[in-house]
Amino acid sequence: MHTLDHIFKYVACICGILILLILAAVAIFLLFRATPLIFADRNQLSSVYADFTGGKSHNFLSYVIPLIFGTVLMSALALCFAFFVAIGIALFISHYAPKKIVPFLSSVVDLLAAIPSVIYGLWGGLVLVPAMYPFWDWISRFLSWIPLFAGPVANPSRCAATVSLVLAVMILPIITSMARDIFQQAPRLQQEGALALGATKWEMIKLAVLPFAKSGIVSASMLGLGRALGETMAVLMILSPGFTFGINIFKASQNQTIAANIAAQYPEANGLGVSALIGTGLVLFVISFVVNFVARKIAGNTSANRLNIFAKFKKFVKSIKSKKPNQVSSSVSSVSSVSSVSSVSSDLVSSVSVSSDVSSSSTSPVIDFDKFSPTRSYIASRKRKDFLMHVLIFLSFIVAIIPLASLLLTTIIHGIKRFNIDFLTHNMTYVVGGNATGTGGYGGILHAIIGTLEITLGAMVISIPIGLMCAVYLIEYANGRRIARIINLMVDVMSGIPSIVAGLFAFSMFAILLGPGTINGFEGSVALSILMIPTVVKSAQEMLKIVPNDLREASLALGVTKQRTITKVVLRTALPGIVSGCILAVARVIGETAPLLMASGFIASTNFNLFEGQMTTLPVYVYQEYSKLSANCPANAPDSCVTTIPMERAWSAALALIVIVLLLNIIGRVVARVFSVKAK
């Protein structure tokens, strides 16, 4: 083997194994930073926990268990809100929507999944919180006998119910996207067979599509749950927190989540307080790891389960052919346990009765053929059920569109007011309260745009080479081996790491290596790269898989080394898809807020040095302006003083962020679509 081949292979192998090392490093650094909790003085620790909780907790368990309870409660409620709506949307896109608009609807769902969580928090805190009070109050009046819905209802409704609703809107696109892909993979033969046997469309879906997708639906739900468990900014911006085990979701100041608590307490924590927060972050990491691991294992077993279903059905058909007529009735009774297709047959012939007094001789069974003719009422009831499910599936799509449309329209309406050249070309230097600056402006986002671009570029420099070489190793060198399966599973699990945990990891690593208090833009780049690498790996893998093996074999047959075959043939062929995947990965991390709050900080001026000093990004800017609520305008202030200027700046920055994210998504999809033909 050529020397360059050896070097290239070893580099790819190192990048593949690096995924395992990164996950191990996250756990090790968090554990190391949390170890002071073990050896510290108990009185000091008790004082730290008492300060965090207002005297309600005095040890780690009494501190973290209410946080776990709040995290699980709100995430589970969000999943309950989102699950059936998401399945309805996925069915609408895959089986009910006109074929011409299916690609558009699929793209919209994927785009909505990329909207930054800080914008959901802004919309939830300023729009949804005041709007939901009448509805929660109405539910409480009628269902107050259930402890979950007992009053009084908090006004404003900064409670677990509102947070869960926002989390549900956030995880809707995630569950919908995965469920849609699975529904579209359902075997066409089974669906057409069910319809040919007289099943209605809903009966076909219930008996041929949903059983096929059962494992995938569970996996999608678990991934949505994992996303909700790790959400930080939306919870932080909406919830009025507390440290109790209250199950009343309409009361404020009862519950708190682990991620939101870390973000809320971190700015004022030091010493043992930081260690306590990192300890809770380690707990969140373990919970998220387990949830995502289970989800991916379920998804990995889905294909095997489907093959098992088909094998059972073939075995059943073969057994029917090999039996005598008087043995058929006993075989038909086993249909319900075979598969979704056999369930169709069993359901449609359930009215057939075989005489029970048929002897075991060669006499043919007596069948009452009159019962094959269903009554008019039975046919009508089936049609009514089919129509009802059609309406419900369509309504689920409408129900999901309402909050998402409200979010986008509200951001545009409120954000356009200050969205001008002055806002885009100035920073927050010399901005005091609601007063105008010397140039007549009210501050801007120039420093946040530059910080966002620099930190994201740093994350790309780290993530793209590692992710691409890891994908090359998995497809070109380790394909089918056990190590490849392990790395693939860990990549999937890594994609579900909460962003706040990535921020804690970067903060802990730099504090250990460079000393406490180290905060700079590159630290934020490291945090974002943890979140970006899995997306790059998966997108590059998919593109490398579709490169025809004939191209590889032809190149190798001509005497070209494997390294040059990969770089000159395989990667060049897959380049458009890889570029598209990298752009989409950037779009997903550019809106992250929680890790950058911890790793990069916030300043009012423009910092061009990625490796020194704090840097501001657009998502952090949105949160900081939202936190101000209003500006101070004294009684003798000029008319140019605007008390609402922080909210106006927050909305305008949110609009700029949405525009950037949507443009990146659109560019990524256009690149994939335009150049994919050339690649083929």
Residue-wise pLDDT tens digits, 52-80: 888 888 889 999 999 999 999 999 999 99
SS3 367: strand
Q: Round to whole Å and give the CA distance between 136 and 668.
A: 41
**17 has pLDDT over 70:** yes
Strand partners, 367: 354
What average pLDDT does the segment 582-606 reach?
89
Give the amino acid at 603.
Answer: I
CATH class name, domain 3-34+418-431+444-679:
mainly alpha
Query: pLDDT tens for residues 208-230?
Result: 899 888 888 888 888 888 889 98
pLDDT, mean over the chain: 84
Percent of the chain with pLDDT over 90: 39
Lookup: tokens for 458: 């740093």
What average pLDDT does the segment 149-163 reach?
89
**Contact yes or no for 615/606 (Cβ under 8 A):** no
**364 has pLDDT over 60:** no
Q: Which one, of 226, 225, 221, 264, lies nearest residue 242 by Cα?
A: 264
SS3 354: strand
Cβ neighbors of 115 (< 8 A, separation 6 or more) are 407, 591, 658, 661
**What's the CATH fold of domain 38-316+387-415?**
MetI-like fold (1.10.3720)
CA distances from 313 to 254, 289, 303, 346, 677 (A): 52, 36, 16, 12, 39
> Prior bond to 152 cis, omega within 30?
yes
Single pTM value for the model: 0.83
Q: Round to whole Å and give the CA distance between 124 and 137.
A: 18
pLDDT given at position 516: 83
**389 has pLDDT over 50:** yes
Would you place residue 320 in the very low, low, confident or very high pLDDT band (cuts 50, 70, 90)? very low
CA 652 to the chain's CA centroid: 25
Give the amino acid at 203.
Answer: E
Q: Round to whole Å and give the CA distance between 39 and 45.
A: 10
pLDDT given at position 372: 54
Q: Round to whole Å and give the CA distance between 631 and 434.
A: 5
pLDDT given at position 238: 94
Q: Round to whole Å and give the CA distance between 417 and 426.
A: 16
What are φ and ψ of residue 635, in 5° steps? Answer: -60, -35
Cβ neighbors of 216 (< 8 A, separation 6 or more) are 178, 179, 182, 299, 302
What average pLDDT does the segment 145-171 reach?
91
173-182, 298-307, 662-671: segment of lowest average pLDDT: 298-307
What average pLDDT does the segment 289-305 reach?
71
What average pLDDT does the segment 397-419 reach?
91
266-275, 443-452, 505-514: segment of lowest average pLDDT: 266-275
**Contact yes or no for 535/585 (Cβ under 8 A):** yes
Lookup: tokens for 68: 């776990």
SS3 210: helix
pLDDT given at position 524: 95
Strand partners, 354: 367
pLDDT given at position 312: 46
What average pLDDT does the segment 622-651 reach?
87
Buried b or exposed e, range 573-586, using 16+ CB within 10 angstroms = bbebbbbbbbbbbb
**299 has pLDDT over 70:** no
Q: Round to whole Å and give the CA distance between 627 and 267.
A: 13
Lookup: tokens for 184: 């579209």
Instruction: Please report how the helices 272-322 and 499-514 are oriented relative to each other, as an axis angle in degrees rounded to 10.
Output: 140
**Contact yes or no for 436/640 (Cβ under 8 A):** yes
77-81, 120-124, 140-144: segment of lowest average pLDDT: 140-144
Phi-psi region of 617 (alpha: psi -120 to 50; beta: other; left: phi over 0): beta
**Contact yes or no for 249/148 (Cβ under 8 A):** yes
**Contact yes or no for 115/591 (Cβ under 8 A):** yes
Q: Round to whole Å and give the CA distance between 188 and 103.
A: 19
Q: Round to whole Å and give the CA distance between 235 and 71.
A: 10
**Contact yes or no for 164/225 (Cβ under 8 A):** no
Give the chain's radius of gyration (CA, Å): 29
Q: Which one, of 8, 12, 17, 14, lies nearest residue 486 by Cα?
A: 17
pLDDT given at position 642: 87
Lookup: tokens for 39: 């050896």
Residues of the chain with CATH 1.10.3720.10: 3-34+418-431+444-679, 38-316+387-415
Would you place residue 37 in the very low, low, confident or very high pLDDT band (cuts 50, 70, 90)? confident
**415 has pLDDT over 50:** yes
**Contact yes or no for 445/601 (Cβ under 8 A):** no
CA 329 to the chain's CA centroid: 48
341-350, 521-530, 532-541, 579-588: segment of lowest average pLDDT: 341-350
Query: pLDDT tens for residues 537-572?
Result: 988 988 888 888 888 889 989 888 888 999 989 988
DSSP for 167-202 reads HHHHHHHHHHHHHHHHHHTS-HHHHHHHHHTT--HH
**309 has pLDDT over 80:** no
Q: Round to whole Å and give the CA distance between 108 and 93.
A: 11
Would you place residue 328 in the very low, low, confident or very high pLDDT band (cuts 50, 70, 90)? very low
**Contact yes or no for 273/265 (Cβ under 8 A):** yes
**164 has pLDDT over 60:** yes
**349 has pLDDT over 50:** no
Would you place residue 510 in the very low, low, confident or very high pLDDT band (cuts 50, 70, 90)? very high
Q: Round to whole Å and give the CA distance between 32 and 558.
A: 53
Instruction: Please report how the helices 340-348 and 272-322 are oriented relative to each other, as an axis angle in degrees rounded to 10.
Output: 50
Q: Round to whole Å and give the CA distance between 433 and 628.
A: 10
**Contact yes or no for 435/640 (Cβ under 8 A):** yes
Q: How many CB atoms lie within 10 A of CB 198?
A: 12
Query: What DSSP designation does 370 have?
Result: G
The number of residues making up the chain comes to 680
pLDDT given at position 362: 45
634, exposed or middle or buried, with CB in 10 Å at 0-12, 13-18, 19+? exposed
What average pLDDT does the segment 372-388 reach?
82
Would you place residue 480 in the very low, low, confident or very high pLDDT band (cuts 50, 70, 90)? confident
What are φ and ψ of residue 537, in 5° steps? Answer: -60, -50
CA 600 to the chain's CA centroid: 24
CA distances from 170 to 73, 114, 117, 160, 474 (A): 16, 9, 8, 15, 32
pLDDT given at position 345: 43
Q: Which one, of 482, 458, 675, 670, lies nearest residue 584 by Cα?
A: 670
**341 has pLDDT over 50:** no
Cβ neighbors of 197 (< 8 A, separation 6 or more) are 344, 345, 348
pLDDT given at position 54: 84
DSSP for 502-566 reads HHHHHHHHHHHHH-TT---HHHHHHHHHHHHHHHHHHHHHHHHHTS-HHHHHHHHHTT--HHHHI
Q: Round to whole Å and give the CA distance between 643 and 632.
A: 6
End-to-end CA distance of the chain, in Å? 30
Which ranges in 416-445 belong to alpha helices (H)? 421-424
Q: Which one, of 124, 373, 340, lies nearest residue 239 by Cα?
A: 124
What average pLDDT does the segment 335-357 reach?
41
